């Protein structure tokens, strides 16, 4: 079981790269990237509102059956907006 933003066998729409940027919903600045093949995330320009023990961003279970099963709460370093990034698990 791993976290993913889409079908792992197909690259995302856009430039065809499995590494896709995501933006703050308020200011639309790119604040991270998601690798759709490995389900790895990189963050730049955001701070987790509830970091893990080592201070790094940490996804939590949402308890939802319909919708994202894991999510992370982030604060944009550019505009201060707090938002949730949710991901669905492929099993």
Which tokens belong to 53? 């023990």
* pTM greater than 0.85: no
d(CA 67, CA 70): 9
Q: Which residues of the chain have pLDDT under 70?
A: 1-15, 89-91
């Amino acid at each position: 079981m791993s976290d993913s933003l889409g079908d792992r066998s197909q690259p995302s729409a856009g430039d065809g790269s499995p590494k896709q940027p995501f933006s703050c919903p308020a200011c639309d600045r790119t604040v991270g990237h998601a690798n759709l093949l490995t389900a790895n995330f990189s963050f730049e320009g955001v701070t987790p509102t509830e970091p893990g023990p080592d201070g790094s961003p940490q996804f939590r279970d949402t308890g939802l059956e319909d919708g994202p099963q894991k999510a992370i709460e982030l604060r944009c370093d550019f505009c201060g907006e707090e938002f949730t990034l949710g991901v669905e698990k492929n099993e």
